[in-house]
A and B are shown apart, each in its own frame.
Chain A
Amino acid sequence: MGDIMTQWGLKKPIMDGLTIGMGYLPVAVAFGITAKPLISLFDTTLMSIMVYGGASQFLVLQMLNTSGAAAIVMAVFILNSRHFVMAFKVNYDLRHESFIKRLILSSYVTDESFAVTANTDPPGRAFPKYFVTFIIAYLFWVIFSAVGYVAGDWMSDSWTIASGIALYALFIALLIPAVRVHYKYGLVAVSGMLFHGILSVIPMVPSGFAIIIAMLLAALMGVLIDRMGASE
């Protein structure tokens, strides 16, 4: 088994999937716990299977008693539409793969699965590697949503709270190596932070829009930095 994993180069994708999964675990458990007083176990698990988006699923629970179905669907659409940009890049990087393979991968694109695979070198841009990472992360999300619902109390409160850092630690750990390669990536990330910070304090801007606009503007900063010759 170990030999096959090494031969296919699947060791890193598996570790990447487990890393995302470990970040998802506490969030999924928290989702299960939050959902318990509101919806059934079936619906909780179904939502994780079909929506597969942390922030948007919490948003649904939050809106459930105060908003109509149309408003909830619209809010989730706006919040999750950032995946379009991410899936766009995944599809572009894997444009040599068949349509059906790209279709499968696209449906598992999340902030985390995108961030972890986005810097893959061309030789690593292959369906099996992406799929392994994506599916492991997905399984953690689905399984631990249900586990949280059924047995959420096995995680102590302070562990659940401390685990809130997990996905941020993941994002930071993905950013730092890029900044070591060139500081311009750091500048792009910092401008993303600033744009998002500014947009999120402006009232009336839905958080989903704030994320996409900040992301698109910050990436534009990268192009500008290149134009100004900072890459030389």
Chain B
Amino acid sequence: MTFLIIFLFLATIVTRILPAFFVTRLSLPEWLVTYLNYIPYAALGVLIFPGILTAVERPVYGILGAIFAAVLSFLKIPLFFIVLGSIVFVYLIML
């Protein structure tokens, strides 16, 4: 098992650290910089859906929790309390 974990470490670390070796040597064209700046938002979308449907017991709870988190964000509640508040909210609606 420990050996397997070492191989898993290698498989995981290689993609994480690879960019560190060459990124600074590149001078990226304008469009690629623009593209790169959209990656976080693209990633957020990909990470939210469809995972949200299996986040908690039933898809509908996940969606309600997501709406609650979105409302808190619109109210400019600090990040920490949005996360905490959403857990409490989902706990309450599951009761």
Contacts and interface: CB of A to CB of B under 8 A. Distances in A.
Interface of A: 15-16, 18-19, 22-23, 26, 39-40, 42-43, 46-47, 50-53, 56, 60, 69, 72-74, 76-77, 80-92, 95, 99, 102-103, 106-107, 109, 111, 114-116, 118-119, 158-159, 161-178, 180, 185, 188-193, 195-197, 200, 211, 214-223, 226
Contacts of A219: 35-36, 38-39, 41-42
Nearest to B91: A162
Complex A-B, nearest 3 residue pairs according to Cβ-Cβ distance, in ascending order: A192-B45, A222-B38, A189-B45
Nearest to B48: A171
Interface residues of B, number: 72
Interface of B: 1-9, 11-21, 23-24, 28, 31, 33-52, 55-57, 61-62, 65-66, 68-70, 72-74, 78-80, 82-91, 94-95
A82 B66 CA distance: 24
Nearest to B82: A173
B18 to A, nearest CB: 6
B40 A119 contact: yes
A22 B45 contact: no
A22 B94 contact: no
Nearest to A175: B44
A168 B5 contact: no
A176 B1 contact: no
B53 to A, nearest CB: 9
Nearest to B33: A92
B2 A53 contact: no
A80 B95 CA distance: 35
A175 to B, nearest CB: 5
B8 A47 contact: yes
B79 A87 contact: no
A39 B20 contact: no
Contact of B86 (A84, A114, A166, A191): A166
Contacts of A95: 23-24
Contact of B65 (A22, A47, A165): A165
